[in-house]
Amino acid sequence: MSAIAIPLPSGLREVAADRGRLCATTGLPVCAVAQRFIKLNAVTAVVFLLVGGIAALLLALTRWQAVHLLNAEWFYRIVTLHGLNMLIFWILFMEVAILYFTCTTPLNSRLFSEKVAWVSFGMMLVGAVMVDVVILKGQADVMMTSYLPLLAHPLFYLGIILVAVGTLIGVFNFFATLYVAKRDKTYEGSVPLVTFGATAAAIIAVVTLLHGAIVMIPTFTYSMGWTPAPDPMWYRLIWWGLGHQSQQVNVCAMVAVWYFLSSVTVGARPLNEAVCRGAFILYVCFINIASAHHLLVDPAVGASWKIWNTSYAMYLAVLASMIHGFTVPAGVEVAMREKGYLRGLFGWLTSAPWKNPGFSGFFLSLVIFGFGGGITGVTLGTEQINIIAHNTLRIPGHFHVTVVGGTTLAFMALAYYVIPLIFQRDFVGRKLARLQPYIFGFGIVLVALGMSFAGSMGVPRRSWDISLAGAYGPAAHLMLGVVGIGGIIAFAGLLLFCLLCVGTLLFGESNQGRAMADWGVAQPATGAAPVRLEEHDHNATKGTFALALIFLACFAVYYFANWKALADVWPVK
């Protein structure tokens, strides 16, 4: 594991050992309290992932019109369950785990407070279980968005408020830890990039959760009959301050995971810290106006408001993603070239450790997020193009390659390191684990393709049956079949992941006192002398640059094809 061993100043060793342990693999200090809550949150996250995954399979097998498994009532109930468990519970619990890691180990710090961590975890867990029970009892068939005047049982809103406040308390623990680490000078200079990215995610999370409180509290009091009904358009505007920004928390956390995994699997380093950090700051500054993406064909918000807000002020947050999409693979390329993989444009990429699920999972996440999620997201979120996309299956087609193919896959890849390093157990079923990212990635890409094509043919999202409309032909039905098959494959990948994680926790061999079993990190090429490339060698990243140009070309083709499709429909204003 030479790629991830990091020398620690000797003075810090004793301090670190005093409040936890030194990692036998990396040499980094692990705070015992943080470790306990990373474990708790990560395990809970995987349980919710499994609940959401079972829901996903049922939905895929229902929208596949030839199978049509659930009845209408249960279909809508399970859509609600799926959305909340996947988008909120799985991801938030995992993100709290990531926050606790990034504010302790990389900073040689202890977690600020064990009590606060318990309060946060307890509130989140109670809230999430409350929401799931209310949904399964059939008292909240309102979708994740719960658009007013549609009304759920008050405990549904109360559960969401508990999860949001619990998360907010976890985020507070993160910031307090940053403060304590800075005050006690546990590290020198600037915080590491991974911590910086997590901090950006935490800042966005605060803004997001405040939106959640603003919209959910009056909705809760209304559902209790205490206050009058909030305006439905006001609800949409504020709710999406929660709904969309929370996805930006995911993007931020995912990018931080990309940087982390590229470091531990191939020894990549950020090409230019200033550029990477600047891109995170762009997220923080400009993402909060992305709420407008969901209101582009709404009444009462005008064209100039829509244009300014949908473009995140000249697309500066999109710019941030395009920067990370370049700097992460560029870091991998430089590291691989320094190891002697110099052949051609892509020799560095083909020689990368593709059998390491930490690497393959993260790199697939990067490609799926960029080529799939990024291009479709910007295009569908264009003010006028949204007319031919709003509320069709194109929308879930987009976010299943951002949140699932991107964030979820990156978090799965992370688990292949979290479990050996934090739970100190080596994975069981290592051959299957090496395949898992590919199975899951392939399945989810199929799901997204099926959804996107069906949506282009006008098939609505969140609809139990499209045959009643009489508007959809065999091609649309075929595409829903693709969604069904992709859903089965993705679920197989997800189930495999959950079984491997649980199996490892129960039966995995303990690696206490020794380095974790190596997944296969990038080694220097045989016969090549290790080189240190110039910080900005003009030819060092030509492979990444070529990939970036291909990306831009795909983006332009998809984007302008959509303008053409829009130009073909009836004039409207």
Partner 1 sequence: MSSIVSPPSDWCRAPAGHERIWLGLALGWCLVLSLMMPFWHFKGKQNSRGEAYAVKPDAFLARAEKFIAANKVGEEKQGPNVIPIVEPPPGGDAYLVARMWSWNPIIKLRLGQTYRLHLSSIDLQHGFSLQPLNMNFQVLPGYDHVLTLTPTSKGIFPIVCNEFCGIGHQMMVGRIVVE
Among positions 152-181, residues that touch partner 1 (CB under 8 A) are: none
Residue 405 phi, psi (nearest 5): -65, -25
And the tokens for 26? 């990396």
CA 427 vs CA 57, 113, 403, 442, 518: distances in Å:
26, 31, 25, 23, 10
Q: Does 387 bind partner 1 (CB under 8 A)?
A: yes
Smallest distance, partner 1 to C-beta of residue 442, A: 28
Q: Does 44 bind partner 1 (CB under 8 A)?
A: no
Q: Does 105 bind partner 1 (CB under 8 A)?
A: yes
Q: Are 4 and 25 in contact (CB under 8 A)?
A: yes
And the tokens for 445? 């890409």
Alpha helices in 345-429 (DSSP H): 347-350, 357-367, 375-380, 394-399, 409-418
Q: Does 571 bind partner 1 (CB under 8 A)?
A: yes
Instruction: Give per-residue burial for 30-39: e unless 16+ CB within 10 Å, then b.
Output: bbebbbbbbb
Q: Which is nearer to partner 1, 14 or 568 (CB)?
A: 568
Q: Three-state SS for 190?
A: coil
Q: Which is nearer to partner 1, 151 or 517 (CB)?
A: 151
- Touching partner 1, residues 10-29 (CB under 8 A): 28
Smallest distance, partner 1 to C-beta of residue 269, A: 5
And the tokens for 293? 């993406």
Q: Which of 41, 311, 356, 408 binds partner 1 (CB under 8 A)?
A: 311
Q: Does 349 bind partner 1 (CB under 8 A)?
A: no
Cα pseudo-dihedral 260, 265, 271, 272, rounded to 10: 20
d(CA 349, CA 333) in angstroms, rounded, equals 7
Smallest distance, partner 1 to C-beta of residue 393, A: 9
Q: Does 390 bind partner 1 (CB under 8 A)?
A: yes
Q: Which stretch binds partner 1 (CB under 8 A): 398-406, 444-452, 467-475, 496-504?
A: 467-475
d(CA 436, CA 413) in angstroms, rounded, equals 9
Q: Does 537 bind partner 1 (CB under 8 A)?
A: yes
Q: Does 386 bind partner 1 (CB under 8 A)?
A: yes
By CB under 8 A, the count of residues binding partner 1 is 114
Q: Which is nearer to partner 1, 26 or 504 (CB)?
A: 26
Q: Are 480 and 454 in contact (CB under 8 A)?
A: yes
- Touching partner 1, residues 473-532 (CB under 8 A): none
Cis peptide before 192 (omega within 30 of 0): no
Q: Which residue shows structure tokens 């999406």? A: 240
Residue 22 phi, psi (nearest 5): -100, 130
Q: Are 427 and 416 in contact (CB under 8 A)?
A: yes
Smallest distance, partner 1 to C-beta of residue 509, A: 25
d(CA 218, CA 222) in angstroms, rounded, equals 6
Q: Which is nearer to partner 1, 44 or 376 (CB)?
A: 376
Smallest distance, partner 1 to C-beta of residue 428, A: 27
CA 192 vs CA 94, 327, 366, 531: distances in Å:
20, 16, 21, 24
- Touching partner 1, residues 204-233 (CB under 8 A): 231-233
Smallest distance, partner 1 to C-beta of residue 164, A: 22
Q: Which stretch binds partner 1 (CB under 8 A): 369-377, 385-393, 431-439, 506-514?
A: 385-393
Spatial CB neighbours of 252, under 8 Å, sequence gap ≥ 6: 197, 198, 200, 201, 204, 280, 283
Task: Please name the helix (run of DSSP H) or strand (run of DSSP E) that holds residue 275, with its range, or none.
Answer: helix 273-286
Smallest distance, partner 1 to C-beta of residue 443, A: 25
Q: Which of 156, 326, 423, 519 binds partner 1 (CB under 8 A)?
A: 326
Q: Which of 224, 552, 557, 561 binds partner 1 (CB under 8 A)?
A: 552
Q: Three-state SS for 392?
A: strand
Q: Which of 65, 113, 221, 391 binds partner 1 (CB under 8 A)?
A: 391
Q: Are 28 and 6 in contact (CB under 8 A)?
A: yes
d(CA 484, CA 490) in angstroms, rounded, equals 10
Q: Which of 99, 163, 268, 404 binds partner 1 (CB under 8 A)?
A: 268
Q: Does 106 bind partner 1 (CB under 8 A)?
A: yes
Q: Does 120 bind partner 1 (CB under 8 A)?
A: no
Smallest distance, partner 1 to C-beta of residue 75, A: 9
Q: Which of 167, 327, 376, 452 binds partner 1 (CB under 8 A)?
A: 327
Q: Does 194 bind partner 1 (CB under 8 A)?
A: yes
- What are 392's strand-pairing partners? 460
Q: Does 139 bind partner 1 (CB under 8 A)?
A: no
Cis peptide before 149 (omega within 30 of 0): yes
Q: Which is nearer to partner 1, 44 or 263 (CB)?
A: 263
Q: How many Å is the Cα radius of gyration of the chain?
A: 23
Q: Does 42 bind partner 1 (CB under 8 A)?
A: no
Q: Which is nearer to partner 1, 472 or 497 (CB)?
A: 472
Q: Are 210 and 290 in contact (CB under 8 A)?
A: no
Q: Contact letters (x/-) for partner 1, 439-458, by CB under 8 A? A: -----------------xxx
Q: Does 118 bind partner 1 (CB under 8 A)?
A: no
Q: Which stretch binds partner 1 (CB under 8 A): 56-64, 83-91, 398-406, 465-473?
A: 465-473
SS (H, E, C) 228-246: CCCCHHHHHHHHHHHHHHH
Closest CA to 427 of 435, 417, 436: 417
Smallest distance, partner 1 to C-beta of residue 47, A: 27
Q: Does 363 bind partner 1 (CB under 8 A)?
A: no
Q: Which of 44, 85, 219, 310 binds partner 1 (CB under 8 A)?
A: 310
Q: Contact letters (x/-) for partner 1, 53-92, by CB under 8 A? A: -------------------xx--x--x-------------
Q: Does 137 bind partner 1 (CB under 8 A)?
A: no
- Touching partner 1, residues 278-297 (CB under 8 A): 295-297
d(CA 469, CA 478) in angstroms, rounded, equals 16
Q: Which stretch binds partner 1 (CB under 8 A): 34-42, 82-90, 174-182, 310-318?
A: 310-318
Smallest distance, partner 1 to C-beta of residue 381, A: 10
d(CA 30, CA 446) in angstroms, rounded, equals 39
